[in-house]
Amino acid sequence: MNLFYNNRLKVWFHSTLGKQVLFGHNKTPLPFIEKIQAKKDIFLFQVNCSENNAGPLIGFLVHQNQKSQIMVNEPYVTGLAEYLWQTKCIPVLVPVEQIGNDSIDGAIFDGKNKRWIRGHFPVPNIFYNRISKRIIEKTPKYKTALSWIKDQQIPIFNPCFLDKYETFLVLRKNDRLRNFLPKTMLIRDKSSFLAFCQQHQVVYIKPRDNYKGNGVSIVKYHDTGAVVVLKYTEKQVFQCFDEYWEMNKTDLTNGTLIAQQAIRPATINGKRFDYRVLAHLKVEKNIQKYVLTGIGIRLAASHNITTHIPRGGKILKPTALILSDDHKFEIKQMINEIGHELTKHFGLFGEFSVDIGITKNNNLKIFEVNAKPMQFDERKIEKKRYERLRHLFLKLTDFA
């Protein structure tokens, strides 16, 4: 079926004679127009049908800046939107500021010209949270919007960014995941942090709510009492723990940092590496399970602190390291458990990624879980991601 949008009149319509066509979550009836003149402000959309419903209308939840410009995470969202448009879905950008109305002023993807146009449309059939800033999710307007979406019983997934410490506490309660987690603590006071450093000797310091390796450092505690701190661009040496603590006390006592036991990692040419594992929810016959979508390999930069690409990490080809069948099985079991725990505690998760390391003793360790995975550089993984997301959109909106 074809739907049309007149951007000058801000009107949606269809051209199927004798058929009632409903559109969006509120099942808005669309007018019928038989003869359509080709104009630059009229846009064509091929869509799926479920009884009289046309769609689905897929809302990427985003936000506006102070100038009312829609803030969207390029190029991932546009790449996915192009795929959805080609496969009979209608992708739209929904500013969180617009939630609560019977219709939305946002942006519509013009697949023919591969661009976003400002436009008007009904409330979407489903929301996919791609808000790019944590601070937006902490505002009253976001919380009100999320509550309204849930009250309307509209599916929404990945409802929030993840706090590293909260996520650790959730996963630690799961018997099947506990042994995969490095020891982790929330830094609050000097004595407990000192005991943690003395026990593990090498620990990672991470902000609870940062990503891409921002703010990460390594603290090495020596038997002599000296402390060495490694950052991306510098190395600091302290004669004793007290000296280190006094210099960093303000940051270490405000509840924003965690300490994580450093594992003895397996290496390639002396550099640590980890797996970037992408997972998606799969719904079949009312059974929900989380499945493996793809695995990328990242090699640390010369500083050997993190493998994140913005921090100098490198992408390795899958052939650079072959996963054993046992590890593949463990990862598949792991992501299914993680997915169900995230959904149980935070709300529906349709996708997530996990940074997984491997020790010199050949054991897997979960370093981090990411609620809003960025674009994968591996094209095969990203293509499969698009397919999995479209399948999920259709399933959750009854268009499958």
Do 252 and 200 reside in the same domain of the chain?
Answer: yes
Kindly state whether residue 390 falls inside one of the protein's structural domains.
no
Kindly state whether residue 394 falls inside one of the protein's structural domains.
no
Of 261, 282, 307, which marks where a domain is finished? 261
Kindly state whether residue 311 falls inside one of the protein's structural domains.
yes
A 10 A CB-CB count for 245 gives 17
d(CA 109, CA 86): 11
Instruction: Report pLDDT for 319.
Output: 63
Angle subtended by helix axes 190-200 and 241-252, to nearest 10: 120
**CATH number assigned to the domain comprising residue 299:** 3.30.470.20
pLDDT values of the chain reduced to their tens digit, one per residue, 400 residues? 999 999 999 999 999 998 999 999 999 999 999 877 767 899 999 999 999 999 999 999 999 888 888 888 778 999 999 999 999 999 999 999 999 989 999 999 999 999 999 999 999 999 999 998 999 999 999 999 999 999 999 999 999 999 999 999 999 999 999 999 999 999 999 999 999 999 999 999 999 987 655 788 899 999 999 999 998 778 999 999 999 999 999 999 999 999 999 999 888 888 888 899 999 999 988 899 999 999 998 887 765 566 555 555 677 776 666 788 899 999 999 999 999 999 999 999 999 999 999 999 999 999 999 999 988 889 999 999 999 999 999 999 999 8
Contact indicator for 199, 177 with CB cutoff of 8 Å: no
**CATH number assigned to the domain comprising residue 117:** 3.40.50
d(CA 366, CA 172): 11
With a CB cutoff of 8 Å and minimum separation 6, the contacts of 320 are 268, 297
Do 115 and 25 reside in the same domain of the chain?
Answer: yes
Contact indicator for 311, 213 with CB cutoff of 8 Å: yes
Q: Considering its fold, how many domains does the chain have in total? A: 3
Do 10 and 145 reside in the same domain of the chain?
Answer: yes
Instruction: Report pLDDT for 302.
Output: 63
Do 49 and 128 reside in the same domain of the chain?
Answer: yes
Do 103 and 44 reside in the same domain of the chain?
Answer: yes
Instruction: Report pLDDT for 304.
Output: 55
Kindly state whether residue 381 falls inside one of the protein's structural domains.
no
Kindly state whether residue 362 falls inside one of the protein's structural domains.
yes
Do 56 and 126 reside in the same domain of the chain?
Answer: yes
Instruction: Report pLDDT for 208.
Output: 92
Both structure tokens of 101: 């109305």
Kindly state whether residue 382 falls inside one of the protein's structural domains.
no
Kindly state whether residue 386 falls inside one of the protein's structural domains.
no
Least Cα distance to 303 among 375, 363, 213 occurs for 213
Q: 255 to each of 19, 35, 198, 240, how far by Cα in Å?
A: 59, 64, 21, 23
Instruction: Report pLDDT for 318.
Output: 67
Do 322 and 287 reside in the same domain of the chain?
Answer: yes
Domain that holds residue 90: 2-157
Of 220, 241, 261, which marks where a domain is finished? 261
Contact indicator for 349, 282 with CB cutoff of 8 Å: no
Do 230 and 324 reside in the same domain of the chain?
Answer: no
Do 271 and 309 reside in the same domain of the chain?
Answer: yes
Kindly state whether residue 397 falls inside one of the protein's structural domains.
no
Do 22 and 129 reside in the same domain of the chain?
Answer: yes
Both structure tokens of 226: 């000296």
Of 246, 261, 276, which marks where a domain is finished? 261
Do 46 and 147 reside in the same domain of the chain?
Answer: yes
Q: How big is the chain by its Cα radius of gyration, in Å?
A: 24
Do 174 and 188 reside in the same domain of the chain?
Answer: no
Angle subtended by helix axes 76-86 and 379-396, to nearest 10: 60
